[in-house]
Amino acid sequence: MFRYRHRRRQIDVLKKNSIKVAFVGNPNVGKTALINALSGSNLKVGNWPGVTVEKKEANIVINNQTFSLVDLPGAYSLNPFSLEEKITRDFLINERPDLIVNVVDSNQLEKSLFLTFALSEFEIPMVIALNFFDEMVKNKTEINIKKLKDLLSVEVVPTSGVKKIGIDALKEAIYKAINERTLPNILFEESLDKKFKQIKDMLKDKKDQLGYPLSFVAARVLERDNQMINELINKKLIDKSILDLTVDNSTYIESRYKFISSICKKILVKHKDSYDLTQKIDSILLNKFLGLPLFLIMMFIVFKLTFDLSKPFVDFTSYFINDYIGKYVVYSLWFLPDIFKSLIKEAIIGGVGSVISFFPLIGIFFLFISILEESGYMTRAAFLIDKLMSSIGLSGKVFIPLILGFGCNVPAIYATRGLDSQKDRLLAGLMIPLMSCSARLPVYLLFTAAFFKSFKELIILGLYFLGALIAILLVILLQLAVPSLKTDSTPFILELPPYRIPPLKFLLKLTGFRVKSFLRKASSVILFTMILVWSINSLPYNAPVGESYLAQGSRAIAFVFAPAGFDKWEAVATLLPSIVAKEAVIGTLGQILEGEQNSTTEAKSAEEYNFADDTSKVIEKFKDSFIEAGTSLLNFFTINSFQEKEKNESLMNRLRTLFTPLSALSFMIFILLFVPCMVTISVFIQEYGMKWTVFEICMLLTISYSVSTLVYQIGKLFIH
Q: Which residues bind other proteins (CB under 8 A)?
A: 76-77, 79, 81, 107-108, 110-111, 114, 249-250, 253-254, 257, 274-275, 278, 282, 286-289, 291-292, 379, 382-388, 390, 491-498
d(CA 716, CA 712): 6
- Say if residue 610 carries a ligand binding annotation: no
CB of residue 661 to other proteins, shortest distance in Å:
40
Q: Which residues contact 688 (CB under 8 A, 6 or more apart)?
A: 52, 425, 426, 429, 696
Among candidate residues 61, 69, 185, the one with its CA nearest the CA of residue 117: 185
User: Would the annotation count 29 as a binding residue?
Assistant: yes
Nearer to other proteins, 292 or 333 (CB): 292
Query: 487 vs 605, which CB is nearer to other proteins?
Result: 487
433 three-state secondary structure: helix
Smallest separation, CB 278 to other proteins (Å):
7
Judged by CB, which is closer to other proteins: 251, or 648?
A: 251
Q: CA dist 384 to 202, 282, 389, 417, 426, Å?
A: 52, 11, 10, 20, 22
- Using DSSP's 3-state secondary structure scheme, residue 48 falls into coil
671/665 Cα distance (integer angstroms): 10
Strand, coil or helix: what is 146? helix
Q: ∠ CA 549-587-441 to the nearest 5 degrees?
A: 125
Closest approach of other proteins to the CB of residue 264, in Å: 9
| 322 annotated as belonging to a binding site for a ligand | no
CA distances to 62, 338, 437, 460 from 543, in Å: 65, 13, 34, 37
Beta strands in 163-314 (DSSP E): 268-270
- Read off the DSSP letter of residue 79: S
Which stretch of DSSP H or E encloses residue 197? helix 190-204
Query: Of 105 and 628, which CB lies nearer to other proteins in the complex structure?
Result: 105
CB 131, min distance to other proteins, A: 15
DSSP 563-605: GGT---HHHHTTTTHHHH-TTHHHHHHHHHHSTTTTSHHHHHH
Question: 126 - beta bridge partners?
Answer: 100
Which residue lies nearer to other proteins by CB, 6 or 270? 270
CB of 290 to other proteins, least distance (A): 9
Total residues found in the chain within this entry: 720
| C-alpha radius of gyration, the chain, whole number | 30
The CB-of-446 to other proteins minimum distance in angstroms stands at: 39
| For other proteins, the closer CB: 275 or 622 | 275
Under 8 Å between Cβ of 411 and 444: no
Whichever of 291 and 360 has its CB closer to other proteins, that residue is 291
Distance, CA of 191 to CA of 176 (rounded, Å): 34
Distance of CA 516 to the CA centre of its chain: 14
Answer yes or no: is 52 a known binding residue: yes
182 vs 261 by CB, closer to other proteins? 261
Q: Minimum distance between the CB of residue 214 and other proteins, rounded to whole angstroms?
A: 23
Is residue 653 annotated as involved in ligand binding? no
Residue 664 near residue 447 (C-beta atoms within 8 A) = yes
CA dist., res. 67 & res. 57, Å (int) = 11
Nearer of residues 292 and 301 to other proteins, judged by Cβ = 292
Report the run of H or E that residue 58 belongs to, with start and end: strand 54-62
27 among the known binding-site residues? yes
Q: How far is the CB of 235 from other proteins (least distance, A)?
A: 24
Q: Are 23 and 71 a contacting pair, CB within 8 Å?
A: yes
Minimum Å gap between C-beta 24 and other proteins is 15
Residue type, 202: M
Which residues touch 621 (CB under 8 Å, ≥6 apart)? Answer: 316, 319, 320
Q: Is residue 707 part of an annotated ligand binding site?
A: no
161 labelled binding-site residue? no
Q: What is the smallest separation between the CB atom of 696 and other proteins, expressed in angstroms?
A: 29
The annotation status of 36 as a binding-site residue, yes or no, is yes
State the minimum distance, in angstroms, from the CB of residue 485 to other proteins: 18
List the binding residues. Answer: 25-32, 36-37, 39-40, 50-54, 71-74, 131-134
List the binding residues for GTP. Answer: 25-32, 50-54, 71-74, 131-134
List the binding residues for Mg(2+). Answer: 36-37, 39-40
